[in-house]
Structure 1
Amino acid sequence: MGSGTSTFVIRWINFLTMLIAVAVICFGVWMNTHQDGCRKSLAFPVLGLGGLILLISLIGFMGALKNISILLWIYLVMLCLILVGILVFTVLAFIVTNNGSGHSKAGIRYKEYQLQDYSSWFLKELNNTRNWEQLKTCLVKSEDCNNLSKKYKTLKQYKMAKLTPIEAGCCRPPSECGYPAVNASYYDLSFHPVSSNNDCKLYKNSRAIRCYSCDSCK
């Protein structure tokens, strides 16, 4: 492949990524216009990501269009740095969450998660009151738990369902508590829990409480 063909490919690839970057930036601006604090908190990272993609794409596009070698070198270096960053992030994420793949329980098709399975650094950050309160507010607003009764019409459907980690950890008490399910969104808490797990005491049927403060949710 000749240099002319290479620059042509680089030029058009970066032109397409510039369009994607503009779309990402527009999405970030749209998120920032919402009153919802959860979406607003994600707006700046999205805008930053869009801006970074746009900058790199613009450098690559101009370097290929004008055949400016210094811009092409800058483009390649930035790409390498991003790839290294992604690799480092992936490795760190694997180390932090390696043991948190969930536990299978008899009689249920989904996995339950335990906070102590994760790294001490992750636990420290997650147990930071401010961090968790922000996340909890977003979970309550997401309506994932409140929609369970609509998603699973019968108790049989609910018991046979493969619940998501949020549904399994935040919307219901841990199975070890032994609370009978009345429906997908309501448990009979008049029964004394058969487990000493503190999450059993924290769970409430209230839409705003559920198990959002439970370790299983965190």
Structure 2
Amino acid sequence: MGMGTSTFVIKWINFLTMLLAIAVIIFGVWMSTHHDNCRRSITLPVLGLGAFIFVISIVGFLGALKNNSILLWIYLIMLCMVLVAILVFTVLAFIVTNNGSGHNVAGLRYKEYQLKDYSSWFLKQLNNTENWKRLKSCLVKKQDCNNLSKIYKTLKQYKSAKLTPIEAGCCRPPSECGYPAVNASYYDLSFHPVSSNKDCKLYKNSQAVKCYNCDSCKAGVAQYMKTEWRMVAIFNLALFIVLSIIYFVGCCARQNAVRRRSTKI
């Protein structure tokens, strides 16, 4: 790559990523002032990510602007650390999300999920009392279960609905319990459950209880997390490729800066 081209590319790439980092930090500050504790729980990681991207970008920008080989070397080291971290996280994400899938049930358009099907990491996180207490409070606040009766006006509509994993696991008892559905938010619990599954006794029609304490609810959350993690892992894979190209351009820029310095001496 030409002597001026690599420096020009690195300079403008890092200028753009500086603007992106500022946007991420502003978003993190907005979340920190938001009253929803579910969103505020990820404030620090977002702020940390934004700050780290900003520092790397400004080092790379100044190094390219001044043709400073030392700053560019620091930039490359920091970028290499990011590449390694992304690679490790992506590999772990694919490993963790490798297990777990839904089970088809006759007469239902959606699948039901069992907690035992998922990886031990998911089991450890979801069976942790404090973790689940926080997640459960978020689920109740979102009112997904409460909104089902507003979306599906009739029992026929509800039975033919394609529920999400969280709706299927947290808003209703497992189908093996045999409770007849009266509507989208109410089941006839006077019937004796035909299954020994403990979730059958944990389910209540109360909007604050539902099946939030059930393993089926944890399994629904695990499936949701698995899907989200897979999307993040795929995004990280694409990001890794882009950053690898930027790293290569940065190496060229540093070599050019060293050559310019040596020709001046």
Instruction: Output the TM-score relative to the length of structure 1.
Output: 0.91
SS of residue paired to 1:139: helix
User: CA 1:104/1:64 → structure 2, altered by over 3 Å: closer, same or farther?
Assistant: farther
User: Which moves more between the two structures, 186-195 or 69-78?
Assistant: 69-78
SS of residue paired to 1:217: helix
Question: What pairs with 1:45-56 in structure 2 (closer than 5 Å)?
Answer: 45-56=45-56
CA distance in 1, matches of 2:86, 2:176: 38
Note the residue ranges of structure 1 that are not aligned, 5 or more in a row: none
Q: CA deviation at 1:121?
A: 3.7
Deviations 1:51-110 (A, max 9, x none): 112112222222222222222233233223222222222222232232212222222222
Other-structure match for 2:215: 215
CA distance in 1, matches of 2:161, 2:78: 45
Please identify the structure whose Cα radius of gyration is greater: 2
CA distance in 2, matches of 1:10, 1:159: 56
Other-structure match for 1:190: 190
- 1:158 paired with 2:158, answer yes
Amino acid in structure 2 at the alignment position of 1:71 = L
Deviations 1:169-210 (A, max 9, x none): 111111221222222222222222221111111111111111
CA distance in 1, matches of 2:48, 2:73: 23
Other-structure match for 1:38: 38
User: CA 1:98/1:139 → structure 2, altered by over 3 Å: closer, same or farther?
Assistant: same
Q: CA deviation at 1:47?
A: 0.9
- 1:96 paired with 2:96, answer yes
User: CA 1:202/1:80 → structure 2, altered by over 3 Å: closer, same or farther?
Assistant: same
User: CA 1:8/1:133 → structure 2, altered by over 3 Å: closer, same or farther?
Assistant: same
User: Which moves more between the two structures, 90-99 or 126-135?
Assistant: 90-99
User: CA 1:151/1:17 → structure 2, altered by over 3 Å: closer, same or farther?
Assistant: farther
SS of residue paired to 1:146: helix
Aligned-residue Cα RMSD (Å) equals 1.8
Other-structure match for 2:23: 23
CA distance in 2, matches of 1:212, 1:58: 46
Where has structure 1 moved over 6 Å in runs of 4 or more? none
Q: CA deviation at 1:149?
A: 1.8
Amino acid in structure 1 at the alignment position of 2:125 = E
If each structure's helix is expressed as a fraction of its own residues, which one has the higher value?
2
Amino acid in structure 1 at the alignment position of 2:72 = L
Q: CA deviation at 1:6?
A: 1.8
The alignment of Structure 1 onto Structure 2 pairs a total of residues equal to 218
Other-structure match for 1:66: 66
Other-structure match for 1:7: 7
User: CA 1:138/1:10 → structure 2, altered by over 3 Å: closer, same or farther?
Assistant: same
Amino acid in structure 2 at the alignment position of 1:133 = K
SS of residue paired to 2:156: helix
CA distance in 1, matches of 2:11, 2:154: 56
User: Which moves more between the two structures, 92-101 or 191-200?
Assistant: 92-101
User: CA 1:5/1:103 → structure 2, altered by over 3 Å: closer, same or farther?
Assistant: same
SS of residue paired to 1:191: coil
| RCO higher in structure (CA 8 A, sep ≥6) | 2
CA distance in 2, matches of 1:152, 1:88: 43
Deviations 1:154-178 (A, max 9, x none): 3333222222111111111112212
Other-structure match for 1:84: 84
User: CA 1:150/1:76 → structure 2, altered by over 3 Å: closer, same or farther?
Assistant: farther
Note the residue ranges of structure 2 that are not aligned, 5 or more in a row: 219-265
Q: CA deviation at 1:24?
A: 1.3
User: CA 1:145/1:189 → structure 2, altered by over 3 Å: closer, same or farther?
Assistant: same
CA distance in 2, matches of 1:74, 1:161: 55
Instruction: Output the TM-score relative to the length of structure 2.
Output: 0.76
Q: CA deviation at 1:135?
A: 1.0
CA distance in 2, matches of 1:10, 1:153: 57
Amino acid in structure 2 at the alignment position of 1:125 = Q
